[in-house]
Amino acid sequence: MIETINLTKAYGNVSVVDGLSFTAQPGRVTGFLGLNGSGKTTTLRMLLGLTRPTAGEALINGQPYAALDRPLQQVGAVLEQGISHPGQSGRAHLTAHAFLAGAGRDRVEALLERVGLAADAHRRTGDYSLGMGQRLAVATALLGDPRVLILDEPANGLDPEGIAWLRQLLRDHAQAGGTVLISSHLLAELAQLIDDVVIIANGRVRSAVPLAELYGGAGGRLRVRGRDTVRLRKVFEEVGGQVAGDEQLLEVDGLTAEEAGEAAFAAGVPIYELTVHTPNLEQIFLDLAGA
């Protein structure tokens, strides 16, 4: 499990992360969302012991990263844009880090195969595309076969096939009981992957809930067209709806499609269109992050 408790990082008088508390549970993929400069990367770095918190705690399996025994066998991390020496081949990069992770050469070869780099393993990483660099970073994170994965924008540079591959890999990891915390700005992709979502803005948590709850909390807005929108507006308001829109199209909050349809039927007003407009993750995120 990943847990932050009142985690704070300040540079001088400026708080980059301000009292951040959230958890990422085993068996689930947790999305970590925030606009640029919201404190995502700083938070992940504090979790990984690369940046010291000003206050609060960042815990993995109940311990600070620095206190973990054989950390690469407990936590795998993807940072920045595929870190490696550009003059070293992909295979050599993995092999060097396999020494540190306590992994053998067979594990290196298996991972190169798994991330689709076996054919390019002899090439210098400086000649890799962004997507290949990200695949190498994922392979590096998996060297110690860790249960916890922390990934900072891992889909950057991946093509659609690569994103689908990564999505499957992370879903499989969570289904096997692993903990996954992933930050990304590719919100549409994230929506298909995550179970829980943590949204931060200005270093503070705006929302930390299961994704389904976030969608539910945002509610579905109804789009309604009918013969007499003036009467429909009045009818919807009488049964508790909040109505916006004009004479052509009404936008109704606070009512289900069933409630709106029944109310219109009871009033005897023909309905031409009744659709539920569910906000996507991007809209919800922008609403919360910008609030």
Q: Which lies closer to another protein via its Cβ, residue 16 or residue 24?
A: 16
Q: In three state form, how does the secondary structure of 213-245 look?
A: HHHHHHCCEEEEEECCHHHHHHHHHHCCCEEEE
Q: Which of 96, 267, 274, 289 binds another protein (CB under 8 A)?
A: 96
Site string for another protein, 191-230 (x = CB under 8 A): ----------------------------------------
Among residues 167, 103, 95, 156, the alpha carbon closest in space to that of 131 is found at 156
Region binding another protein by CB under 8 A among candidate stretches 67-75, 153-161, 172-180, 225-233: 67-75
Q: Residue 229, Cβ neighbours under 10 Å: how many?
A: 19
Size of the site for another protein (CB under 8 A): 33
Residue 105 as a binder of another protein (CB under 8 A): the answer is: no
Q: Which lies closer to another protein via its Cβ, residue 16 or residue 29?
A: 16
Residue 77 as a binder of another protein (CB under 8 A): the answer is: yes
Residue 285 as a binder of another protein (CB under 8 A): the answer is: no
Site string for another protein, 119-158 (x = CB under 8 A): ---------------------x------------------
CB 166 within 8 A of CB 157: no
Q: Which amino acid is at 155?
A: A
Residue 97 as a binder of another protein (CB under 8 A): the answer is: yes
φ and ψ of 275, to 5 deg = -125, 150
Sign of CA dihedral 188, 208, 34, 128: negative
Q: Minimum distance between the CB of residue 93 and another protein, rounded to whole angstroms?
A: 8
Q: Which of 6, 37, 85, 275 binds another protein (CB under 8 A)?
A: 85
Among residues 76, 75, 95, the alpha carbon closest in space to that of 85 is found at 95
CB 30 within 8 A of CB 190: no
Q: Which lies closer to another protein via its Cβ, residue 140 or residue 184?
A: 140
Q: In the chain, count of helices (H) and strands (E)?
A: 10, 13
Placement of tokens 């076969």 in the chain: 145
Q: Minimum distance between the CB of residue 14 and another protein, rounded to whole angstroms?
A: 13
Binding site for another protein (CB under 8 A): 41-42, 45, 48-52, 65-66, 68, 71-72, 75, 77, 79-80, 83-89, 92, 95-97, 99-102, 140
